[in-house]
Amino acid sequence: MANAKRWTPLFRNKRGLFFSRRIRGFSFPRNENEAKKMLFFSYFKELVGKQVTVELKNDLAITGKLHSVDQYLNIKLENTRVVDEEKYPHMMSVRNCFIRGSVVRYVQLPPDGVDIEILHDATRREARGG
């Protein structure tokens, strides 16, 4: 009984209530949408250290080395430069920045950052539902 306390309910279906030991630093995707996002989260994690250009929904484009990504697809860039600094001098004294995932329009990748085969496989697997 003392041991049971360490198990937390995970989900319930026709066959009953399922329990799982929580794994530190990991949680299962709770729904389909979250699972889909996990794919791109993993994908962006592979790109850490590469040079990318992030275009925002206010037309600002920022180039820099990808430092990290999180589950919201927030992005941290190092050694950043705004693409059109003449037009957008607003970030001239910023060299490291955090970009909120919700304002990202595009992420321009280095050519060697795209392995189409892997992405194809992963997206097809998800489209089939697992």
Q: Which residue has the tokens 């992005």?
A: 75
66 CB-contact burial (10 Å; exposed 0-12 / middle 13-18 / buried 19+): buried
> Per CB under 8 A, which of residues 53..92 are in contact with another protein?
56-60, 62, 67-71, 74, 76, 80, 87-92
By CB under 8 A, tell whether 40 contacts another protein. Answer: no
Smallest gap from residue 111 Cβ to another protein (A): 25
Among 35, 39, 40, 41, binds another protein (CB under 8 A): 41
Q: Which residue has the tokens 């892997």?
A: 118
Q: Which residue has the tokens 């392995």?
A: 115
By CB under 8 A, tell whether 111 contacts another protein. Answer: no
Among 5, 26, 33, 117, binds another protein (CB under 8 A): 26
Can you tell me the distance from the alpha carbon of 108 to that of 59, in angstroms, rounded to the nearest whole number? 14
Tell me the backbone φ, ψ of residue 91, rounded to 5 degrees: -120, 30
Contact residues: another protein, CB under 8 A: 25-27, 41, 56-60, 62, 67-71, 74, 76, 80, 87-100, 102-103
